[in-house]
Chain A
Amino acid sequence: MRRRTYQWLYPVVGFVFILAVWQAYVDWSQISKIVLPSPADIVRTSISRYDLLLRETWPTALESIYGFALAVLIGIPMAVAIANSRVLNLSLYPILIAMQSVPKVAVAPIILVWFGLGLQSKLAIAFLVAFFPIVVDTATGLRATPQGLLELARSLKASAWQTFWKVQFPAALPFVFSGAKVAITLAVIGAVIGEFVGSVQGLGNLLLSANSQLNSPLAWAALVWLSVLGIVLFAAVALLERLLIPWASTSSH
C-alpha cells in the first residue's frame, strides 16, 4: 500500500519539478510569450478560454472515438479471418504491412479530397492509424491460445465454433485490449493530422489558427487539452478492460 503511494508520487514530483524550472526560466529570461509562454500563462488561458477549448474538444473527441470504434468493428473480424485462414493470412497480411508503412500524413490530403472538410475525413484518418495495432494484436492473441486449452477442447469434442467462441476468443482478449490501448491514442493523433490538413473545427484546427495569430498561450493550451483528451480516452479503454476482463489483471500476483 505504502509502496503504491510512493510510485504514484514519483511522476508527479518529476512533473512539478519540470514546470517549476520552466516557470523560473521564463520569469528570469523575460523571453517573449510568443516564443515560450510560461506554465502559468498556459493554465490561465486554459481557464479563461474554457468555453472555446471545450467547444473545440468535442469534434476532436468524436472523430477519435468514431475512428477507433470503426477500427475495432472492422479490425477484430479481420483478425479472426486472418488467424483462422491460411489463404487470408497469406493474402491480407502483406497488404496490411504495406498499408502500415505508408505515412498517414501523406495520405491525409487524398482522404480530404474524398471525404471533405467535415467529420468523415478525420474519422477516416483516425480509423486508418488505429486499425493496424488492433488487427495485429488480435491476430497474435488468437494464435497464442495455450496448447493445453485447445487439447482440452478437442478431447471434449468441442465444435470449431465452440472452440473459437469459448476458448480462442476469450484467451485473446488481453491482446485485443493491449492493441486497443495503443489504437485509441493513435486515433487522437490521426484526428489531429486530419484537422491540420484541412478542417473548420476541433482542437487541432484551434491550435493551428492560434499559432498563425501568434497567440502562443492559446496554442499551448490547446496542446494541453489535446493531451488530456488522449489520457481520458486511454483511461476509458483501460477501465473497460478492467471491467470486461478482470481476470487478466488478477493473474499477475
Chain B
Amino acid sequence: MAAASRGQSQSAPEPFGTFRHVRKLFELPGRPDVVAIEDISFDLPDGKLVSLLGPSGCGKTTFLKIVVGLIPASSGTIQIGGTEVREPHEDFGMAFQQPNLMPWRTVLSNVLFPMEIRRESGQSVRRRAQELLNLVGLTEFENAYPSQLSGGMQQRAALCRALVHEPKLLLMDEPFGALDELTRMEMQDLLLEIRSRTEATTMLVTHSIAEAVYLSDIVVVFSKRPAVVADFFEVGLPYPRTTAMRYSPEFTALEHRAGRALGIIR
C-alpha cells in the first residue's frame, strides 16, 4: 500500500488533499459569532508529513477536526483522495491530544478497537496489532490495562490504535502535548520510525516550533485566531532525522522563519 501510494504521487502530480478557502464560524446563542478560521488554503502532498503550527486557540485543532470530518466547515472545500470530505472516512486514522484509551479494555484490545468497529477480526488482524505494539515497545503490556501504564506508554498505545487499520491519512492533534520533554523527544523519534515503515500521509497539529521542524516535510504556520496561513515552507532536511540536526544552522534558520511567521521574532 505504501509503495503504491508513493508511486502514484510520482506519476500524478495531484496532491493527496486540497483545502480551499476553508472558513469556520461558531454561532453562539445570544453572543456574536466567533470566527475560528478565516481562510485556509493549501495542498497536502501525498505521503508527506505536514505540521500545522500555531499558537494555542488559533483554530488548528478545529481545522483538523474539519479535515477528519468530525465537524463541518462553514464554507470552503476539503478534498482528500479526490473526494469531498463530509464525514469521517475509513481510511483516516486519528490520534488525539489525550490517549483516549478505554479503561475497561486491555492495551491490545484498545488497539484492536478500530478493527472491531469494522467487524474485522482473526489471526492476521491480531498479528498486525501485536507487530505495532512491538514496534513501540509495548509487547510486554499487551494484556495490561491503561491505568497500569505511564502517560507516554498510553500515547504509544493510542498511536498503534490510529495505525492498526492502515489508514491512508493519519491525523494527530498535539499527540505529545501532555508528555514531559524527554518522553516527547522519544515519541517524536518513534513517530518518524513508524512513518518510515508505513508512509501514510500525516497531518500533525502542534504548538512547538522545534517539533514541527524536526518531524515535518512541510510546515504550515497558522496565524492567531481567526486563522489564516501565515507561512508555508518545506523543511528539506533529509530523513532519518537525528538529534544532532536539531542544533544545525539550517534547523535554527527554519525555526527562526517559523518564529517570524508566528510574530514571536521580528
Contacts and interface: CB of A to CB of B under 8 A. Distances in A.
A167 to B, nearest CB: 7
A250 B145 contact: yes
Given A149-B102, A251-B145, 12 more contacts: A148-B100, A151-B100, A154-B70, A155-B68, A155-B69, A156-B118, A162-B117, A166-B113, A166-B117, A245-B104, A247-B147, A248-B104
What interface size band does chain A fall in?
20 to 34
Given A153-B117, A155-B88, A162-B117, A251 B103 contact: yes
Nearest to B116: A166
Interface in B54-106: 68-70, 87-90, 92, 94, 96, 98, 100, 102-104
Nearest to A173: B104
Interface of A: 146, 148-149, 151-158, 162, 166-167, 170-171, 173, 245, 247-248, 250-251, 253
Contacts of A250: 145, 147-148
Prevailing SS type, chain A contact patch: helix
A155 B70 contact: yes
Contact of B103 (A152, A158, A248): A248
Given A247-B147, A250-B148, A156 B100 contact: no
Given A155-B70, A155-B88, A247-B147, A146 B100 contact: yes
A106 B4 CA distance: 75
A170 B96 contact: no
Contacts of B114: 156
A156 B92 CA distance: 8
Contacts of B100: 146, 148-149, 151-152
B62 to A, nearest CB: 13
Contact of A158 (B70, B117, B147): B117
> What 3 A-B pairs come out closest when comparing CB atoms?
A148-B100, A251-B147, A155-B94
Contacts of A251: 103, 145, 147
Contacts of A245: 104
Q: Among the interface residues B90, B98, B102, which one has the most CB atoms of the partner chain A within 10 A? A: B102
Nearest to A148: B100
A163 to B, nearest CB: 9
B117 A247 contact: no
B232 to A, nearest CB: 26
Residue with the highest number of chain B CB atoms closer than 10 Å, among A151, A166, A253: A151
Given A148-B96, A166-B116, A250-B147, A157 B90 contact: yes
Contacts of A154: 70, 88
Interface in B86-144: 87-90, 92, 94, 96, 98, 100, 102-104, 113-114, 116-118
A162 B103 CA distance: 17
Given A170-B102, A247-B103, A157 B148 contact: no
Given A247-B147, A250-B148, A251-B147, A155 B92 contact: yes
A230 to B, nearest CB: 29
A153 B118 CA distance: 11
A92 B181 CA distance: 51
9 contacts: A151-B70, A152-B100, A152-B113, A154-B70, A154-B88, A155-B70, A156-B88, A162-B117, A245-B104
A170 B104 contact: yes
A151 B96 contact: yes
A28 B146 CA distance: 60
Contacts of A153: 117
Nearest to B90: A157
Contacts of A156: 88, 113-114, 117-118
B104 A247 contact: yes
B50 to A, nearest CB: 19
B182 to A, nearest CB: 23
A86 B233 CA distance: 49
Contacts of B68: 155
A171 B104 CA distance: 8
Nearest to B98: A148
A251 B148 CA distance: 8
Nearest to B89: A157
Interface in B15-44: none
Contacts of B103: 247-248, 251
Contacts of B69: 155
Contact of A157 (B88, B113, B145): B88
A248 B92 CA distance: 31
